[in-house]
Every structure is written in C-alpha cells, then in structure tokens.
Structure 1
Amino acid sequence: MPTVILDNGASTIKAGILGVHDHCPRVVPNAVVRAKADNATYIGHELANCRDFTSLRFRLPFEKGFLVDWDAQKAIWDGIFSTEVLAVNTSEASLLITEPYFNLPNIQDVYDQFMFEEYEFRSYFRCTPASLISYGRLFAQQNLPPPECLLIIDSGFSFTHVVPILNGEVVWHAVKRIDVGGKLLTNHLKETVSYRQWNMMEETHIMNEIKEACCFVSEDFAADLETCRARPTANPIVQEYIFPDYSARRPGRIRNPGESLDESTQQTLKMANERFSVPEILFRPTNIGLDQAGLSATVAASIALLPEDLQGMFWANIGLIGGNTAMPGFRQRLTSELRSLAPIECAVRVHASAEPILETYRAAAAFAARPDFASRCAVTREEYQEMGASACRRKFRDWKPAPADRDQQQQLQSATGSRGARGKARAAGSSTSDSESSAPEGRDGGSPPPAQPTKKPGRGRGRGRGARGGAGKRGA
C-alpha cells in the first residue's frame, strides 16, 4: 500500500510517495492562477505550462493561515493525485498530511471528511509541520540520538511560529506567533518598489522571484543603511535585477558587474536598501506598525515559559524551517541576537537546513517509514466509518488538550512556577474556602465561590438599583 505525503503549505505543496520521492518531492504551487496574457487558468501543477507570468491573478485556498477555499484546494489535490503528478489511486493508499498550527476544530473535521469520504484513503494521519522535525536530519549528530528538547522556528507564507518540542510533543502553551510571513514581505516589497521606481503592484509572481533572488538579512542594519545613504549608487549592496522577457523566453536575473545592456529590450530594477529593509520586518515588526515583538524576543519569551531546568537545552537546539529562513544572513543575525538574550551559562546553537522548504517533507517521509506508523499513528478507514471524526480526535495530538492530558499539562505548568494557578485549582476543588482563596467565576473554569452572607454590597451598586427603579418593578 503506497503512502502519500503532502506537506500542505499555504504557498506550495510538497508532494510525493514514500520510497519514490523521499528526498526530491514534487513542489506544486498551492493556487489557482489566471494568466492575463493568454487568458487561461492554471490549477496547481499546471502553472509550469504558463509562458507569460505578467499580471497573474491568484486564487489561494489559504487565507490568514487557514484553509478556507475547499473548492480550489480540491482542484489542486485532484491534479496532484492524477497521472500528471503522482499517479496514485487514493482508495488503495495511505496519507500523511500537514495542517496549520492552532487549526480550528471545524476545519479539522472537513480535512477528515475529505480524506475518507471524498478520496477514500485506506488510512490517514494529520499533524503540524514542526512536530515532524525531530524525525528528520536537521538535528542529526553522528552516534547520538535526536535531542529531546527542540525549538522550531517555522517562517512560512502566512505567519512565523516559534514551536517548542518536548519528547516529540508540541508544548502548546509556549507556542508563539508573529504575524509576518512571506506574503507580507512580498507585498511590502511591491509597495516600496512601486513608490520609488516601477509600478509593480500587479506583478506578485515577478516580485516574489526578485525577493528570493536579491533580499538578505542584515547583520548590522544601521551600518548597511548608512552605507546606502552615503553612497546611493556605488556601494557593495546595490544590485540591478534584469526583468524577464517572456516573449524571448529570457528569465529574470541579477545583472553582472560591468555587463552591458540593450536598453531597448532590457529593463532593470535597482535594489538598494530594499534588499535588507524588507526582511528586517521579521526582526522588527514595529517598522510597519505591528504591535508585536521581533523574532529574537519572541524566541526568548517562548523559552521563558518552559521548565527552568530544561531551558538550556532549548537554547542549544533551535532549528529553522520555512522559506523565509533561506535568506542569506538569517541564521547569523538570529544567533547574534539570541546570544545577547540568553543566560550567560547557556549555549546558543541555531541549526539551519540547506533546503528549509523541503525539510518538513523529508522529516515526514522518515516518520512515515517507521514500522509503527500504520498500526499506531494513522486512523484507518474502518475506524472512521465506525466512530467518525472522534477517531481522529483520539489519535491525533491537538493544541487543545484532551481530558487525559490535563494532569500532564498541570504538572508542566507547575514546573514553571505557576503557584497562583495551583492555588486557584485547590480553592476551586475545596469544600471550605474563605473569600481570599476562592477563584472568581469564569477565570479557570471552576465553580463560582460560595455565597458570603456577611459581606455587604457596595454603596454605589445599591444606590444604582434604587435610582433605576429596579426594586419597585420587582415588587410590582
């Protein structure tokens, strides 16, 4: 029985069959694209047949990190399972698919219905991308098992997540999110270039290619900015990008130093401080008005929520995945900033992948190859037909703790020093408690405190009722 692996990202889908595409999956755009040049529609993998990428219109199944357009997503999945890509019979195959962090329960139910009722997979497993990284090679060291404490930074299309992993499980109460992803960076670059040079507001595809080719993360933002200000033309940062010529089938590229150009047929875009000011948003979201901390401060805040005796291991095992982490200088800038935030006795090590976009898929392939994947992890079609979506809720680890996991979560919170939470829990469960130790109603889900007949109501509250005439109405 073949196992299909789908790293279902918001920008691209990394798809393959276990044992066939373990290291080189098919990368399919997760979009339905309308081309203005030939007035044709391209679904997912068909975009490779497009010859003119100017003024493309994108219909994205994902919006703000969640899968909302199921018609578009189904059309893209149908193309992936067809003979043009994977050529797989879904009714005789198993599936491993990734889902967004903090995915909504209703959306999860639709995932399950699609896979079992629409595609009729034999078995199925759904999880978040970061939970698979411990099975991959990102933290692999010779003759050593994978570390038990990991901190994954997943910077993708919609958001950037900081995800702690403890013994293979996501520590959800310490997961942090920054509302900055590849989509925001591309849009900001479009606006900047359109204001300064060319009107590129309709050229999302071309500007995304320019971002990937030219942008880098500055290790000294103030010094690089001063270099571009003092010498606006002749400095090592400025690059010229030659726009693609689709009529002559010439792709876009960076102009070589001293290269002569035919000004009648070749147009260029000058990239100066845009090269590093756009990725700087990841480290300083306040530059565009977001009231959020930067990536380094978010990592430190996430580790601070973990058990104190384990925090040193998380500082030493930080991994980078997602397309934004492929920018040059990302790892060096993050390491230098984290070193200033970490305790002096902790070692800070950031592990980067040579291909961060494919890292999750390769880790998923290693996980699906385990002998216990089909028997212990995946939900079978028979189990779904018998129990419905509850079968998936029982087997798939979710960000909402199950009743059996609440004790473990309380112990983990106790290790972080949450004495106040333990006091409230004891007060809510105690049969006798005074007014000082009772938890207020609705704060921790416990029962309201017992009535205190000796406590008099406030003067303002009593006068307010009388002034409105409430007591008279009740008496009448």
Structure 2
Amino acid sequence: MEKICCIDNGACNIKIGNITDEKPLVIPNCIMKAKSEKRRPFIGNQIDECRDISGIFYILGFTKGYITNWEVQKNIYDYIFSTEFPVNFSDTKLIITEPLFNFPIIQEAMIEIFFEEYDCISLTKTTAPDLCQYQYTNTQDPDEPPLCCVVIDVGYSFSHIVPFVKGKKVLSAIRRIDIGGKLLTNHLKEVISYRFLNVMDESFVINQMKEDSCFVSQDFNADMAMAKKKYPENKTIREYVLPDCTTIRRGYLQTPGTAKKGDDYQVIRLNNERFTVPELLFHPSDLGINQMGIAEATVDAINACPEETRPHLYANIIVMGGSSKFPGIRNRLQKDIRSMAPEIFTVSVSIPDDDPLTYAWYGSQFLANDPEFDNLSISRQDYEENGVRGVLNENDAQ
C-alpha cells in the first residue's frame, strides 16, 4: 500500500512524518558549524552532538523565506531521508509545503529535484496556511463547520495573514509583514550586545534565550513603567544563566539572587527586552519598518474580503508558526483586534493547545482524504510526459 508523507518545509524547521504518524519529527532546516569543531558540519539534529555550542553559525538554504541555495537544501534532504526519517520514494506519495506566492523558478527546481534525484512517484505542493485551514475547519464542530477562517502564520522570515472562504484563499486579501523569528533574534542580539556583552556571533544561544524569556505585553506603557523600577519592585527583571556546555546544555531563566553560593555561572540580566522584542510583531515601525503590525494587518485583510464573510472571519482566527509561542500573544491579539473590529461582530482568536509549530502538518491528514487530492498532485507520469513547466502550469490552473 502506498504511504503518504508530509514535509512542512519551513525556513527554520522541517516537520516531517507519514500522515498516519501521531506527530511529526521536527528537524532544524540548516547546516551548522561550530568554532570548536571547524571541520565537521552539523546537519539538522546533529547539533545535539556538538560539544561546544558557542559561536555556532548557520548555513541556510533559505534567504528571506525562499529557497535560494539548493545545494544546501539538498544536503539537508539527503541527511533526513537517509538517517532521520528514511523514505522509500518508490511507494510513498509526498506532500510538501512552499511559501505563499513562491517564485516559478523555485517551484521548477523543487519538482525537478524530487522527480529526478529522488524518483518520487507523486508530489503535491501546498502551503502551511492551506494545511492549517484543513486542520482547523475539520476539527471544529462537525455539525456546523466554519465556512471561513483567517490564518495568522508567524514564521521565521516573515508573517502572513491569509483569509480563507469555503476552503479557498482570498488572494487579494493576503497580507505579509517582514517580521519573523529571525529578525526578533537578531534584534535581541543587538540589544544585549549594546547593553551587556558582544553576542553577535551567538545566534543559537540567543535564539534559545528569546524562546525561554520573552513574552508579549498586555499593556506596553504599564510594563515600561514597571521596567524603570529597581528589583524587587520590578517584576519583569530576570537573570538568564548562559550555557557552559559542560554542566548546563541549555540556558535557563531565574529570578535575581537565587543562584546558589559557589555557582560561577555567567548570567545576563534581562529587563524590558523581554517584552520589547516581541512587541515588534505589533509595531514594526519601532525598528524602522514601515508596515502594519499583525493585529492591524489582520483587520485590514478581513476588510478586503466580501462583506458577508467578515463576521465568520472575525469569529475564526487561528494563529500558527514558531513565533506564535510567546506567552500572552493570543490575549494581546484578541484585545487589539477586538478594539479595531465592528462591535456587532464576535472576535475569536485561538492558538493550538499542543504546538503551533507543528499544527499545519496535521492538516495533511485531511488534505490526503480530500476528493480533489489526486487532481492537486503531480504524478511521475505527468512529469515525464509534460516536463516541469507543463506540470507546473497545469497544477497552477487547477
């Protein structure tokens, strides 16, 4: 029996698994090199074998959200398909995600690689918001499934707001913001390098620090007033214990003054950067980016849809992506969108209870059962008969 494997090909992480699996395998979508082991590249989860994670630098296949270095990307695929998640392409259909509005030349390269290099029997291209829409609409009330929804995809390179009406994207209403997890990590590096010590080469550690310590403010002015006070009146201040790669593999957050006597760990004291960094998602102009924040862009996207769909769109807003894991982001979005939406409409913002990073992957189970699945797929026979541009044009027409 043919298997169906889904690859949610994010710029930061690849989520891969057969649609019958309970959960996908999450693998860093990059090659990393460390100062301590210059000769050895670490691909994906191999980074766990690195003895010293200081000074790690990334070699990425993606640039600004799009695959631009296929040599790097194929090396990562080769490693995953041979070691982390072996795939027998002779009896496995593939579902793979790509960025919204992906360039045709990148789509052509992807199709060629999977049919020529891996002898794939069937390939289905989709996007993470599409899979998220499948998952959301099929897991709500079966008696009254939602006809519309808005997917807020807060990703690594940028964020997208994508409205869906009856399972179809409203292309003219899609909004993109050039703020994502990568920019937030880089901004935190700059702030800490300016205030404490130079960490510009420590992307790996600072990204962990961001994930462990940052949160979304519910009242920015009040939190800034709090941050001006001294500890212990200032409830925001925390110390982040940096990893020493011997006893501490990953840094952790602690309240000031709780270190045990004799501990000689290096710590960084964090104050308002804990909430000013995620605030860029709501106010990109703070960093000189002349764009709307995600709450304002969501309202703008909904207003670009047909008027009769707007009540349903406001009532079904789903947030996904790795950068949507900041504590407080759902309540902040709910409050901000509520303040801008018409009073007569119900506003409901939800974030998956399990993991917003892998939420879209689960939608592949419903996509595979869609009656139109075979029509959306590119078979090996189609590829051999029509060539890469032929199948690409045919697929786009559908």
Shorter-chain TM-score tier: over 0.9
Q: Determine if contact 1:31/1:61 at 8 Å carries over to the other structure.
A: yes
Percent sequence identity is: 37
SS at match of 1:3: strand
Q: Determine if contact 1:34/1:58 at 8 Å carries over to the other structure.
A: yes
Instruction: Please give the alpha-carbon distance, in whole angstroms, between the structure 1 residues aligned to 2:238 and 2:255.
Output: 9
Q: Determine if contact 1:7/1:15 at 8 Å carries over to the other structure.
A: yes
Aligned to 2:198: 199
* C-alpha distance 331-347 of structure 1, shift in aligned 2 (>3 A): same
Deviation at 1:371, TM superposition (A): 6.3
What letter matches 2:181 in structure 1? G
Aligned to 1:7: 8
For residues 164-199 of structure 1, the C-alpha deviation after alignment (integer angstroms, 9 at most, x for no partner) is 111111111110011100000000000001100121
* C-alpha distance 139-89 of structure 1, shift in aligned 2 (>3 A): closer
Deviation at 1:376, TM superposition (A): 2.9
* C-alpha distance 307-134 of structure 1, shift in aligned 2 (>3 A): same
* C-alpha distance 144-393 of structure 1, shift in aligned 2 (>3 A): farther
For residues 296-353 of structure 1, the C-alpha deviation after alignment (integer angstroms, 9 at most, x for no partner) is 1111111111101111111111110001111001010111111111111111001111
Deviation at 1:131, TM superposition (A): 1.0
Aligned to 2:54: 54
What letter matches 1:285 in structure 2? P
Aligned to 1:105: 104
Deviation at 1:396, TM superposition (A): 3.7
What letter matches 2:61 in structure 1? P
Q: Determine if contact 1:112/1:392 at 8 Å carries over to the other structure.
A: no
TM-score, normalization by structure 1: 0.79
Matched, 1:310 2:333: no
Deviation at 1:290, TM superposition (A): 0.7
SS at match of 1:205: helix
What letter matches 1:326 in structure 2? K
Deviation at 1:372, TM superposition (A): 3.6
For residues 260-288 of structure 1, the C-alpha deviation after alignment (integer angstroms, 9 at most, x for no partner) is 33566311111110000000001011101
Q: Determine if contact 1:17/1:86 at 8 Å carries over to the other structure.
A: no
Matched, 1:331 2:351: no
Q: Determine if contact 1:139/1:317 at 8 Å carries over to the other structure.
A: no
Q: For this pair of structures, how many residues does the alignment match? A: 395
Matched, 1:209 2:203: no
RMSD: 1.8
Aligned to 1:346: 345
Instruction: Please give the alpha-carbon distance, in whole angstroms, between the structure 2 residues aligned to 1:257 and 1:181.
Output: 30
Deviation at 1:230, TM superposition (A): 2.9
Aligned to 1:92: 91
Q: Determine if contact 2:138/2:366 at 8 Å carries over to the other structure.
A: no
* C-alpha distance 263-192 of structure 1, shift in aligned 2 (>3 A): farther
Instruction: Please give the alpha-carbon distance, in whole angstroms, between the structure 2 residues aligned to 1:366 and 1:235.
Output: 48
Larger radius of gyration: 1
Structure 1: gaps (5+ residues): 405-476
Structure 2: gaps (5+ residues): none
Matched, 1:43 2:43: yes
Equivalent positions of 1:81-230 (< 5 A) are 81-82=81-82, 84-137=83-136, 140-230=139-229
Deviation at 1:81, TM superposition (A): 0.7
Deviation at 1:247, TM superposition (A): 2.5
Instruction: Please give the alpha-carbon distance, in whole angstroms, between the structure 2 residues aligned to 1:109 and 1:10.
Output: 18
Q: Determine if contact 1:153/1:160 at 8 Å carries over to the other structure.
A: yes
SS at match of 1:46: helix
Q: Determine if contact 1:125/1:396 at 8 Å carries over to the other structure.
A: no
* C-alpha distance 257-196 of structure 1, shift in aligned 2 (>3 A): closer
Aligned to 2:33: 34
Moved more, 359-368 or 321-330: 359-368
Instruction: Please give the alpha-carbon distance, in whole angstroms, between the structure 1 residues aligned to 2:370 and 2:272.
Output: 51
SS at match of 2:120: coil
* C-alpha distance 386-183 of structure 1, shift in aligned 2 (>3 A): same
What letter matches 1:58 in structure 2? Y
Instruction: Please give the alpha-carbon distance, in whole angstroms, between the structure 1 residues aligned to 2:137 and 2:276.
Output: 29
* C-alpha distance 267-57 of structure 1, shift in aligned 2 (>3 A): same
For residues 221-257 of structure 1, the C-alpha deviation after alignment (integer angstroms, 9 at most, x for no partner) is 0000001113366421111111112033543111256
Instruction: Please give the alpha-carbon distance, in whole angstroms, between the structure 2 residues aligned to 1:376 and 1:145.
Output: 27
- Structure of greater relative contact order (alpha carbons < 8 Å, 6+ residues apart): 2
Q: Determine if contact 1:15/1:80 at 8 Å carries over to the other structure.
A: no
Deviation at 1:61, TM superposition (A): 0.5
Instruction: Please give the alpha-carbon distance, in whole angstroms, between the structure 1 residues aligned to 2:248 and 2:238.
Output: 22
